[in-house]
Amino acid sequence: MDGPLPDILWRFNHRTLPVYDPLTFIQRAIPSSVPIKVTEILPRLKDGGAFVKFSHPDGMSAKEIEGLISRYLEENPMKPWFSPFRRIRTNLVVGKPWLEDLHRFPSSQIKVEFVPTSPGLEAAELSQETLYSLFRKYGKLAEISSQPSDSKVLPKFAVVDFARMRHAIMARNCLHGLKISEEAGGGKTGTVLRLSYAPKMKAHWIRDWIVGHPRVVIPIVAALIATFTVAVFDPIRTFFIKARIEHSLSFKDSKIYKWFKNQATNVLAFRSKSEEVSLSAIWDDRKSVIDQIQTWLIETADTFIIVQGPRGSGKKELIFDQTLMGRPNTLLIDCKPIQEARGDAATIKAAAVAVGYYPVFSWMNSISSLVDLAAQGTFGVKSGFSETLDTQLAKIWQNTSTALNKIALQYRKKDDKDANLTDDDWLEAHPECRPVVVIDNFLHKNEESSIVYDKIAEWAASLTTSNVAHVIFLTTDISYSKSLSKALPDRVFRQISLGDISPQVARKFVISHLDADDNAPSSGNENHLTPSQRRKDLAELDQCIAVLGGRLTDLEFFARRLKTGQTPKRAVAEIIEQSASEILKMYLLTIDKSGLKWSTEQAWFLIKALASQESLRYSEVLLSQTFASSLTPTASNGEAVLEALSAAELISIKTSKGRPTAIKAGKPVYQAAFEKLTEDRVLKSRLELAQLTELTKIETKSIDKYEAELNMLGSLPNQPREVGPRVRYLLGKLAASQQKVEAWEKEMGVLKKILSTEE
């Protein structure tokens, strides 16, 4: 719009909305008894008022007119609709107001500048008393501040602080441009007052304060973001975790999928019958174990259920296919992808996927870490945006605990007999209503990092002690009690140990695999023979099973080879050959040995010893020079080496009364593979040569130590009598070590000859 503000206001439809028209207020504020004529009205919407120009008779002064109007407004207060608690006031303008339209907004502080009446003259600085007498009539003053004496700012100024902003507005518009005479303290030539608002807060003060106070702002912003995340995303994440536990969003649990599966099963029944029939023999043999775990799940006991067994012993199938069959609320957490994830972001994502924690912004952790690092380098304080892996995992487990608690309590009814119990007491009284959390591959690659397992164990302990869920651990590590005892130090664990199945059950397992695909009707054809009955080479089965042992994975592999038409002996020979190749590649001929916690000599020591006998004494192995004095830095601790080889499944460690007592092959088939490896003369000579070389170095170091001490004793000026026994002892040890070195040198010569003549 163009045109001056009064014209714009006048053209506004004030007859339609008179309450918005400033002219209406002015007409009502001036009584008809006052003999004045309004000549012009200048509204000041920014200041919330208006200038009124008027003419008056000669016999009456402007001061008297001001008094009449002020008394009238006191007796007849007018309160505008936008300020119902404050009445309209009026004051006489004694200065020369500056009608500007700048972006300068009112403030309770007024800066009073003392300027000369004309350029070149000198202005006087008014005292606080003079300023008080001028400004007090417009409202209560809070403070008057004079310009500091050492300030060189010109023109001179003072700051008048009013108690209320409306009083400052009135004073600024009435006194601006007022000339103070010499009699009033304005100096010889007078002084003009130039008034302007002195804002308490400068422009962009919010932005400037935020930028200037990062130590305060950044943690507050981080807290607000965290609060927003908890308020918005946590309910969503809890919903998805509940859906994961209840399998409500699983397509395989839907009625449509089950119908199609049943139809397909009826047509292609032979495809799924093989595995079901073959495993039935295993479950019949382990019926007591299944019943025991099911009994534990309906008892009130705040402790862990632990199923320990070697890889391929059927731990997971035992729990899900038999023990928890038909149980609605189960959660499987596989530690293997979580532990094998590289980097914090990948670990967080793997943990979130395991429990159904969505949405998860794992990539934000890396960005937050960079922001935190930049803030620390710039401002010297961490921003708090980034969170450690512990904190992130704790959030995931906490949301999972919330979902488990809600699922457990959803079975509670208001009309139950025990409705008066608290939630904790009700959960303790109804263990059958608790969900079941199964933690698979616990302590998988535990030697790399234990932070994930420590957090899982602590979280599982909180679930069991608060009666929120049953927790079942599936592990291959025999030292699981060390990790779990930290989380539940005062509890006795409920343990199940799964070993290899017996030869009789193994035979049933293999035969059921062979007969599972036989679709001929059993009735109506009495002369029909099953596939196992038609084979003439099954007389070798018992001998082959004795070699393979009772490991389910090896037996299943063996049965599949028999289905292809191989004879039992041929199938076992190929399995042994394949196992020997795996051992050779993984433990003996590894090129990159930087990440290994054992030496080739130690692995060969065990392979050679177990090839000749099924079991080794645990303590005897530790006392051998190969384990007690290994020259490999990462394999100097014998017990750590044996634990690492056990975790790598080369060997298995048997315990008795809580301590390790014996060492056996990691799998029964490895026993035969060890024997096959020792039959290879070239391989045996090569590894024996490496082992004897290390032993020679160990004994040579001992000899050097003996000789050094003998030289020291021989350098004594007078040989005391007491030194004699020590010298004889050292000479004896020196002779024994020398004999060993000589014997090993002879053996090494023979081995080198074999390596140089044979292929």
Q: Which residue has the higher pLDDT, 707 or 534?
A: 707
Judge whether residue 110 has pLDDT over 90.
yes
Give the end of a domain, one of 75, 98, 128.
75
Residue 454 Cα distances to 302, 388, 392, 468, 480, angstroms: 18, 15, 14, 19, 11
Tokens read off for 608:
């050679």
Give the whole-angstrom CA distance, residue 159 versus residue 151. Answer: 14
Same-domain status, 484 and 542? no
Tens of pLDDT, residue by residue over 128-145, are 999 999 999 999 999 999
Same-domain status, 349 and 470? yes
What percent of the chain is modeled with pLDDT above 90? 36
Same-domain status, 349 and 476? yes
Task: Tell me 18's DSSP state.
Answer: G
CATH number at residue 626: 1.10.10.580
Give the end of a domain, one of 55, 75, 95.
75
Q: Average pLDDT over the chain, rounded to whole?
A: 83
Same-domain status, 321 and 407? yes
With cut-offs at 50, 70 and 90, classify the pLDDT of residue 621.
very high
- Look at residue 376 and tell me if it is in a domain: yes
Tens of pLDDT, residue by residue over 590-600, are 777 777 889 99
Q: Pick the range with the lowest mean pLDDT from 20-34, 235-249, 364-378, 456-470.
A: 364-378
Edge-to-edge strand order for the sheet containing 616-617?
616-617, 659-665, 651-656
CA 89 to chain centre: 64
Same-domain status, 673 and 685? no
- CB-based burial label for 675 (10 Å; 0-12, 13-18, 19+): middle
Same-domain status, 9 and 44? yes
Residue corresponding to tokens 């397509």: 251
Give the whole-angstrom CA distance, residue 525 versus residue 216. Answer: 88
Q: What is the mean pLDDT of residues 463-468?
A: 92
Per-residue confidence (pLDDT) for residue 372, from 0 to 100: 59
Give the end of a domain, one of 678, 700, 726.
678
With cut-offs at 50, 70 and 90, classify the pLDDT of residue 375.
low
What element of type H or E holds 332? strand 330-334
Per-residue confidence (pLDDT) for residue 581, from 0 to 100: 93
Do strands 651-656 and 305-308 pair parallel, antiparallel, or not at all (unpaired)? unpaired
Q: What is the mean pLDDT of residues 473-501?
A: 88
Alpha helix ranges (H) inside 421-527: 423-429, 451-465, 480-487, 503-515
- Look at residue 613 and tell me if it is in a domain: yes
Same-domain status, 194 and 54? no
* Structural domain that includes position 758: 680-759
Query: How many other CB atoms are there within 10 angstroms of residue 565's CB atom?
Result: 9
- Look at residue 457 and tell me if it is in a domain: yes
Judge whether residue 255 has pLDDT over 50.
yes
Half-sphere exposure of 171 (CA within 13 A, CB side): 33
- Look at residue 752 and tell me if it is in a domain: yes
Same-domain status, 556 and 604? no
Same-domain status, 191 and 260? no
As for how many domains the chain has, the answer is 6
- Look at residue 81 and tell me if it is in a domain: no
Same-domain status, 326 and 475? yes
Question: Mean pLDDT: which of 8-22, 96-110, 486-500, 737-751 is highest?
Answer: 737-751
Query: How many other CB atoms are there within 10 angstroms of residue 369's CB atom?
Result: 16
Q: What is the mean pLDDT of residues 609-628?
A: 93
Judge whether residue 16 has pLDDT over 70.
no
- Look at residue 290 and tell me if it is in a domain: no
Same-domain status, 396 and 430? yes
- Look at residue 208 and tell me if it is in a domain: no
Question: Mean pLDDT: which of 210-214, 215-219, 568-572 is highest?
Answer: 568-572
The answer to whether the beta carbons of residues 517 and 479 sit under 8 Å apart is no
Per-residue confidence (pLDDT) for residue 7, from 0 to 100: 47
Q: Which residue has the higher pLDDT, 734 or 88?
A: 734
Q: Which residue has the higher pLDDT, 239 or 6?
A: 239
Same-domain status, 445 and 462? yes
Q: What is the mean pLDDT of residues 448-474?
A: 89
Tens of pLDDT, residue by residue over 700-738, are 999 999 999 999 988 888 777 888 899 999 999 999 999
- Look at residue 85 and tell me if it is in a domain: no
Nearest to 680, CA basis, from 746, 607, 624: 607
CATH number at residue 166: 3.30.70.330
Do strands 651-656 and 494-497 pair parallel, antiparallel, or not at all (unpaired)? unpaired
With cut-offs at 50, 70 and 90, classify the pLDDT of residue 162.
very high
Per-residue confidence (pLDDT) for residue 440, from 0 to 100: 94
With cut-offs at 50, 70 and 90, classify the pLDDT of residue 648.
confident
